[in-house]
Amino acid sequence: MRSVAQLEAYMDGAKPDINPAQQAADYLLVGEEMLENWVTAQERVPTQDKKEGFRILALHRQGCKGEPSFNACRETCRELAYFYNLIILEPDSEKMTSRLAMMDMVAKHLVLFIGNKMMDDQVGEFCCSSKVNRLSREQMETKVGVNNG
């Protein structure tokens, strides 16, 4: 698993010259590794399970436990899975270049969002169902631990 800093540097840098399918798999992996960083920081073991055929979606669900505001990146994870499917299932599409560019930006957004969440944990936020500072982790997990996002 690459660190958050390594993943940010990867997304900011020039991408390797590989075929679109590999590139799409690479972006998906970036998303998974960011989520692994998040889950590990919560002192949990990242799941190897898949949801709807994608590990990134299972990792996202795991990452939301006790942290409903993490759902703010739910659609970003789903968009990565969506673009991956488009790129793999339509290898000859004339939209390949733009799809890869979009997937790059979606992956970048996930990296930025999670990187920021990891820095600002416990600060409280303006996004949905943010947790309450004065509650202990135990209270938070019983009070808002249900994934309502």
- CA–CA distances in Å: residue 24 to residues 79, 96, 99, 123: 12, 11, 9, 34
Element holding 47 (H helix, E strand): none
Residue whose CB is less far from other proteins, 29 or 112: 112
Residue whose CB is less far from other proteins, 48 or 70: 70
- Regarding 148 and contact with other proteins (CB under 8 A), the answer is yes
Residue 54: beta bridge partners? Answer: 51
Cβ of residue 15: shortest distance to other proteins, in angstroms?
A: 15
Q: Which two tokens stand for residue 139?
A: 């209270």
Selected from 23, 37, 62, 71, the binder of other proteins by CB under 8 A is 71
DSSP class per residue in 69-136:
GGGGGHHHHHHHHHHHHHHHH-TT-TTHHHHHHHHHHHHHHHHHHHHHHHHSTTS--SSTT---TTS-
- Regarding 100 and contact with other proteins (CB under 8 A), the answer is no
Selected from 26, 130, 140, 145, the binder of other proteins by CB under 8 A is 130
- Regarding 65 and contact with other proteins (CB under 8 A), the answer is no
- CA–CA dist 129, 140 (Å, integer): 11
- Regarding 127 and contact with other proteins (CB under 8 A), the answer is yes
Residue whose CB is less far from other proteins, 48 or 133: 133
Which residues are near other proteins by CB under 8 A?
Answer: 68, 71-76, 78-79, 82-83, 98, 101-102, 105-106, 108-109, 112-113, 115-116, 119-120, 123-130, 132-134, 148-149
